[in-house]
A = this chain, B = another copy of it.
Amino acid sequence: MSLLVVGSMAFDAIETPFGKSDKIIGGAATYIAWSASNFTRPIKQLSVVGGDFPREELKILEARGVAMEGVQVKENEKSFFWSGRYHMDMNTRDTLETQLNVLGNFRPVVPDSYQDCEILMLGNLAPSIQLSVISQLKNKPKLIVMDTMNFWMETAMSDLEKLIKKVDVLMVNDSEARQLSGQYSLVSAAKAIMEMGPQYLIIKKGEHGALLFNDDKVFFAPALPLEVVFDPTGAGDTFAGGFVGHLARTKDHSFENMKSAIIVGSAMASYCVEKFGTARLKELKRTDIDNRIQQFKDLTKFDINLDTDWV
């Protein structure tokens, strides 16, 4: 049993108020694998790269238990490339350039060795590609988790609606939740989105934390207040990787355990933003992650005695 991760492996070039990166390694599936491989192995990676993608980057992930059989290497093509510039608030960004390259005609093929997947993590990609992966799986995974974005709501809403019916956990940010539901209140938005299919909804609010909804229940995960957010790229994917990594490790997909999974994801994301790209994730040790999770515990813990008379 394993975790199947679908998503881009790519190049990014990033500008923030604090600096500018060269063309560096990025992509949703890259961040998810780096994050999740702290918690669970094996991970089955499904993606596509061009001949320009460094083999070394695949090898260091393989050494962390990430299988690469499902990663197509198109020798004569170029990898997906995105460049963007973040504003001062680090929540908004402008896309400077997008080169689809190998993603433009990506046809995912699920290897036989991936058919045992217990959790399917669909990183942000065209809904038609995400649908194709689901349809190739002979057994329905125990849990399908999906990340998407506003771009697909604007360009592929019909596919997206079909897909959303098939997933158990949907992850979007707050503005995407409002766009998808047409509701301003996030509580109302969550109700409307859960009626579209997913039993669980995670609304990511960046520096304001994340909300988990299920039926009438809600959980609020804080974000760690950080002095410097150096580069937010990949934070959402790193969050997703920690989330599914924790669920795969503990084999418990209950609402209660999803609360913990969100904290783990938030802890991983809080490290991701400390350096450009995957740099910080590549340095992390188990003790770093333990310490950060402990900080999250301390951050929201309080005690109020309701058993006394007040006035």
**Interface of A with B (CB < 8 Å)?**
37-41, 65, 88-89, 184-188, 205, 208-209, 211, 218-223, 225-229, 246, 249, 256, 259-260, 262-264, 286, 290, 293-294, 297, 299-304, 306, 310-311
Contact = CB atoms under 8 A, between A and B. Distances in A.
Contacts of A286: 310
A173 to B, nearest CB: 13
A40 B308 CA distance: 13
A304 to B, nearest CB: 5
Report how many copies the assembly holds: 2
Contacts of A256: 302-303
A263 B302 contact: yes
A2 to B, nearest CB: 12
Given A208-B205, A220-B299, A225-B187, A290 B311 contact: no
7 contacts: A185-B229, A186-B225, A208-B209, A218-B225, A219-B302, A222-B300, A246-B304
A200 to B, nearest CB: 15
- By CB atoms of chain B within 10 A, which of A39, A184, A294 has the most? A184
B304 A293 contact: yes
